[in-house]
């Protein structure tokens, strides 16, 4: 369990193939220092899959005493926006990582242009006259080689001139394109003279109208890495086929650095969609309440739901890094949230679906303030006092008129403990004209007061409660997975129509002033977060982050 950081010591846990590669490189002295980067395109919000990559990149470099930068891969102005730049920075910061530097691919447009010219001069790139359709048709198929374009044999001088005109805005979008001259018959389609620059008369969020030609990812990315001195360029599996092109660019550009691309498997979670396209669709079609809806697997959604940075990071560490396609059970994420909050969150009581209990033998008008530990597993959190009186609320589901076997909550004639207070026994059930239970009449035994040491008899059940006259109204939002079933077909057919359950109940009086993102464990319910958007001073709204585990089953 040596998990040292920042001193170059390799941890013995969480070992994986990328760490092996880096270890070996460092032992062989291949690099002075390891440099990684997290390179999001600012075209959407970050999700937990990105968190896996963020944790990997930052902690890997940190472990070897290296550095990590944040670099926005903004080479396609059609899809990118500053809104996303801002959100991405915020999410990384919230997770607790500080990039060595923040850069943009667009910072290097001039340098990339020069490198393209360098390729042209070597006869390794040419300006293409063919249309997009013609290029596609001549590319061949998976099993047949492509055909060489007539433009391929253009002279260096003419290519230089045309490329300059492309930059100068003398052509319309799609009229010309710059292609790398590699191999039209390569079995790897990425090497069949890939397009490396296209014309797009579009305002860029960063460079404005300075450019009307933009480099393609496959050309830009290796250059960005080389410029920044990145040693290990970590990306996901679908870029594996691009690695030969990545290496080709590095080999033929006028660059001394030799970054190495390493691919790992992206994260998939049960009951979750994990692509920006799909998440954007959920937002655009108003299936959810924005990118930060508490049901979204986005970092901002998880944050609003109440997940902590530490729980997300620990999850990312524990799932490991490999090249095998995977589908991780969301319950694993939930586990790390519970583990993180177990000792940190105050434990208080909330009644989500109240039913009133009148304790008929308790003096009218009397109130007792009972001592209660804030977290029995963490005494440093101290004590609080909670009121108890003749009328309290308990959970409607904690009473059954006709209970099955092994039900040890309240039922007629049964005695249970009220947490931190007394034993009560159900004497009478009051119903309205529709037969709905409106009130329970109980008696209490003064001798059974909590902390009194009473042990003449035992009860099987302990119920939480909120004192009725001082109860603070609150809204509770419970969540189910947004996606019913991750398998097959259009994911929109699997959207759970009933993924939010709203309850109106009460919390303890001492919770009247909680504010955005405060987290609590509500006894027997789970961990809750004060919704930073919906909650206000006069309307408390709690999101259930995760429930407590439970082995209780009715009828079983």
Contact 179, 195 (CB under 8 A): yes
The residue count for the chain: 556
Residue 43 assigned to a binding site: yes
| Nearest to RNA of 32, 408 (CB atom) | 408
**Between 434 and 550, CB nearer to RNA:** 550
CB of 533 to RNA, least distance (A): 27
Q: Give me the least distance between CB of 242 and RNA, in Å please.
A: 6
Classify 84 in phi/psi space as left (phi over 0), alpha (psi -120 to 50) or beta. alpha
Minimal distance, residue 56 CB to RNA, in Å: 12
449 is in an annotated binding site: no
Report the alpha-carbon distance of residue 446 to residue 424 in Å, rounded: 9
20 annotated to bind ligand: no
For 36-54, give the secondary structure using H, E and C.
EEECCCCCCCCEHHHHHHH
Contact between 226 and 259 under an 8 Å Cβ cutoff? The reply is yes
**In the complex, least distance from residue 377 CB atom to RNA, rounded to whole angstroms:** 6
Active site annotation includes 266: yes
Catalytic-residue membership of 276: yes
User: Is 47 labelled a binding residue?
Assistant: yes
Q: How far apart are the C-alpha atoms of 429 and 438, rounded to whole Å?
A: 8
| Residue placing its CB nearer to RNA in the complex, 293 or 416 | 416
The minimum distance between CB 434 and RNA, in angstroms, equals 26
- Min dist CB 123 to RNA, Å, is 21
Closest to RNA by CB, 32 vs 134, is 134
* Inter-CA distances, 303 with 169, 330, 405, 472, 533, Å: 44, 16, 41, 25, 11
Residue (14 or 390) nearer to RNA, CB = 14
The verdict on whether residue 267 carries a ligand-binding annotation is yes
Q: Considering the complex, state which of residue 327 and residue 502 has its C-beta at the smaller distance from RNA.
A: 327
Catalytic option among 41, 111, 148, 391: 41
Q: Active-site residue among 37, 243, 276, 313?
A: 276
> In this structure, how many other beta carbons lie within 10 angstroms of the beta carbon of residue 552?
11
Q: How many CB atoms within 10 Å of residue 140? A: 17
Q: Is 73 annotated as a binding residue?
A: yes
Catalytic residue among 89, 114, 167, 266: 266
Q: What is the DSSP track for 367-386?
A: EEEEEEES-TT-GGG-EEEE
Residue 266 in marked binding region:
yes
**Least Cβ distance, residue 289 to RNA (angstroms):** 26
CA dihedral 47, 207, 244, 147 (to 10 degrees): 120
Q: Which two structure tokens, joined as six digits, stand for 43?
A: 């075209």
- Give the Cα separation of 146 and 144 in Å (integer): 7
Residues forming beta bridges with residue 507, ordered by sequence position = 350, 472
Q: What are phi and psi of 297, to 5 degrees?
A: -80, 10
CA distance 398 to 505: 14
Nearer to RNA, 177 or 293 (CB): 177
> Could you tell me where the beta strands, DSSP code E, fall in 328-458?
347-348, 350-351, 354-359, 367-373, 383-389, 391-395, 415-418, 423-431, 437-445
Contact 540, 528 (CB under 8 A): no
Reading phi first (left if > 0) and then psi (alpha if -120 to 50, else beta), residue 435 is in: left
Q: Is 378 known as a binding-site position?
A: no
Q: How far apart are CB 7 and RNA at their closest, in Å? A: 21
Nearer to RNA, 403 or 516 (CB): 403
Respond yes or no: is residue 280 known to be catalytic.
no
**Three-state secondary structure call for residue 530:** strand
Q: Binding site residues for L-glutamine, as ranges? A: 73, 217
Q: Binding site residues for ATP, as ranges? A: 41-43, 47-53, 236, 266-267, 274-276
Residues annotated as catalytic are: 41, 266, 276
Q: Binding site residues, as ranges? A: 41-43, 47-53, 73, 217, 236, 266-267, 274-276
């Amino acid at each position: 369990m040596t998990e040292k950081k920042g001193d170059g010591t390799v941890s013995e846990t969480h070992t994986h193939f990328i760490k092996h590669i880096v270890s070996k490189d460092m032992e062989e002295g291949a690099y002075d220092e390891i440099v990684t980067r997290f390179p999001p395109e600012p075209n959407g919000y970050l999700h937990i899959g990105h968190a896996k990559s963020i944790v990997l990149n930052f902690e890997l470099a940190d472990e070897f005493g290296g550095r990590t930068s944040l670099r926005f891969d903004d080479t396609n102005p059609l899809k990118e926006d500053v809104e996303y730049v801002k959100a991405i920075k915020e999410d990384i910061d919230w997770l607790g990582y500080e990039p060595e530097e923040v850069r943009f691919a667009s910072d290097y447009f001039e340098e990339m242009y020069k490198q393209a010219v360098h390729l042209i001069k070597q006869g390794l790139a040419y300006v293409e006259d063919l249309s997009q359709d013609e290029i596609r048709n001549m590319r061949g198929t998976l099993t047949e080689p492509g055909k060489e374009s007539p433009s391929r044999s253009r002279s260096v001088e003419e290519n230089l001139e045309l490329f300059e005109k492309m930059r100068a805005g003398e052509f319309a979008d799609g009229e010309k394109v710059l292609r790398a001259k590699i191999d039209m018959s390569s079995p790897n389609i990425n090497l069949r003279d890939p397009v490396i620059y296209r014309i797009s008369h579009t305002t860029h969020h960063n460079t404005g109208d300075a450019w009307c030609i933009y480099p393609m990812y496959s050309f830009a990315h290796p250059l960005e890495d080389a410029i920044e001195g990145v040693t290990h360029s970590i990306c996901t599996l679908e870029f594996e086929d691009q690695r030969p092109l990545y290496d080709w660019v590095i080999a033929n550009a006028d660059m001394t650095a030799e970054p190495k691309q390493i691919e790992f498997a992206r994260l998939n979670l049960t009951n979750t969609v994990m692509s920006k396209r799909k998440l954007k669709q959920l937002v655009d079609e108003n299936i959810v309440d924005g990118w930060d809806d508490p049901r979204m697997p986005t970092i901002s959604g998880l944050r609003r739901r109440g997940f902590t940075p530490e729980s997300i990071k620990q999850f990312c560490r524990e799932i490991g890094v490999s090249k095998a396609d995977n589908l991780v059970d969301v319950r694993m994420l939930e586990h790390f949230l519970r583990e993180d909050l177990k000792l940190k969150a105050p434990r208080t009581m909330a009644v989500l679906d109240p039913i009133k209990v009148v304790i008929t033998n308790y003096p009218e008008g009397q109130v007792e303030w009972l001592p209660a530990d804030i977290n029995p597993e963490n005494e440093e959190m101290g004590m609080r006092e909670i009121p108890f009186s003749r009328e309290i609320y308990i959970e409607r589901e904690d009473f059954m008129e006709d209970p099955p076997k092994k039900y040890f909550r309240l039922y007629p004639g049964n005695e249970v403990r009220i947490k931190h207070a007394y034993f009560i026994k159900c004497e009478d059930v009051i119903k309205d004209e529709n037969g709905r239970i409106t009130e329970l009449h109980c008696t209490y035994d003064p001798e059974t007061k909590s902390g009194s040491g009473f042990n003449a008899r035992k009860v099987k059940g302990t119920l939480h409660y909120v004192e009725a006259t001082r109860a603070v109204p609150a809204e509770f939002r419970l969540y189910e997975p947004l996606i019913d079933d991750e398998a097959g077909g259009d994911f929109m057919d699997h959207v759970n129509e009933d993924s939010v359950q709203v309850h109106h109940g009460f919390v303890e009086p001492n919770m009247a002033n909680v504010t955005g993102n405060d987290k609590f464990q509500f006894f027997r319910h789970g961990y809750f977060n004060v919704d930073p958007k919906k909650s206000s001073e006069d309307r408390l709204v709690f999101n259930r982050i995760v429930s407590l585990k439970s082995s209780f089953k009715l009828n079983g």
